[in-house]
Amino acid sequence: MLHRKIYQLCCDGREVCVFLRDQQRWLERARIIDIEGDLVTLRYETDEEDEISSWEEMVRLESIGAVSQKLASVPKGNVEPLVSDDCPEAEQIRNHYPDANSD
């Protein structure tokens, strides 16, 4: 099951977070580049002391303990979400609290 899901994430090309059980660490914002047998190739970047490094790492499928992906993000605070003009009317967000002063 995990192999199929990792293959799907590889085809999608989305960023994921991968937990490596044998090293007890998370790889954040990684991309699954390739799967060959039980080897999974991951590409990610690290930012340490004003230096960004790109890494490509091959790990065994059995050492992957968890895979997660960000579905969405919303800014904190009282920010009005942007609504596209192309968005279908049924999916548009309505103002549930109309101004009391509007006549």
Tell me: the pLDDT tens digits for 7-47?
A: 898 998 889 999 999 999 999 999 999 999 999 999 999 98
Report pTM. 0.67
Please tell me the predicted confidence (pLDDT) of residue 78: 78
Confidence check: pLDDT of 56 > 70: yes
| Contacts of 60 by beta carbon, 8 Å cutoff, 6+ apart | 38, 39, 40
CA separation, residue 93 to residues 24, 33, 77, 79 (Å): 42, 37, 17, 13
